Amino acid sequence: TDIALGNQLPQVVAAHLLGQPGASLENDHSAMEIKGTEGYVLVYAKCCCPLPGDPIEGFLSPDRGLVVHRENCRNLSDLREQPERLMPLRWDDQIEGLYPVAIRIEMANKRGMIATLATKLSGIGLNIERISTQDESVHFSSIIIELQLNSRVHLARVMKRVRVMDGVRKVVRWSRR
């Protein structure tokens, strides 16, 4: 019944029935390592864009599978009202790949600033997946850039390089609500 209702992943139930170590039907506090999909339907939350190195938690969604959120995601705090659907997770040390993430940059509203930013990011081997701008004032714009990065450390390096650009006032990791 729990599988049909989406309360349990079939793989967890099967592992429990086979007596495999670490398989639990309870929401224990041992974290599952994310190594890839390995039989689980894993979806990375678009609201908080978790990256390897981020503290993470999973939410079991009947229609989407196991949705991976950053532990400090505002949406996850709303989902904590259903603790039976939460699963502690941690990244495997060997995980590879690129993951979407967005940064918000407040920068001077001057001619060529976005081109300079794009050139800087391209110069360090990054591709801008999406960009949106909003004028904060006559002098400053807020730019949200979506990139593909491999880890939280990679994100920190990128943000550090953007922060030192002339005309940049602030750089933060951006999350959707």
* Number of CB atoms found within 10 A of residue 87's CB: 22
- Token pair of 105 as six digits: 């940059």
Which of 91, 113, 137 terminates a domain? The answer is: 91
For residue 82, give the amino acid letter: Q
pLDDT value at residue 9 = 58
Structural domain harbouring 168: 99-174
Residue 29: per-residue pLDDT: 43
Q: Are 24 and 103 contained in the same domain?
A: no
Q: Same domain for 29 and 7? A: yes
Q: Cα–Cα distance between 4 and 61 in angstroms, integer?
A: 12
Q: Are residues 133 and 67 in the same domain?
A: no
139 and 75 within one domain: no
Q: Is 96 a residue whose pLDDT tops 60?
A: yes
Q: What is the pTM of this model?
A: 0.75
Has residue 20 got a pLDDT over 60?
A: no
| 9 and 85 housed in the same domain | yes
CB atoms within 10 A of CB 86: 16
Residues 55 and 105 in one domain: no
Examine the domain organization and report whether 78 and 6 are in the same domain.
yes
Please provide the size of the chain in residues.
177
Query: Do 45 and 74 fall into the same domain?
Result: yes
CA dist 58 and 49 (Å) reads: 13
CATH number of the domain enclosing 165: 3.30.70.260
Give the bridge partners for 140, in sequence order.
Answer: 108
Query: Of the candidates 91, 109, 130, which is a domain's last residue?
Result: 91
Same domain, yes or no, for 66 and 144? Answer: no
> Average pLDDT of the chain?
83
Residues 15 and 54 in one domain: yes
- pLDDT one-digit tens code per residue, 33-71: 675 545 668 899 999 999 999 999 999 888 888 999 999
Residue 6: is its pLDDT beyond 70?
no
* DSSP H or E stretch at residue 149: strand 140-149
Q: Based on the structure, what is the number of domains in the chain? A: 2
Q: 21 or 109: which carries more pLDDT confidence?
A: 109
3-state SS, residue 172: strand
Give the per-residue pLDDT at 108. 94
pLDDT in tens, 65-77: 899 999 999 998 8
Residue 12 pLDDT more than 80? no
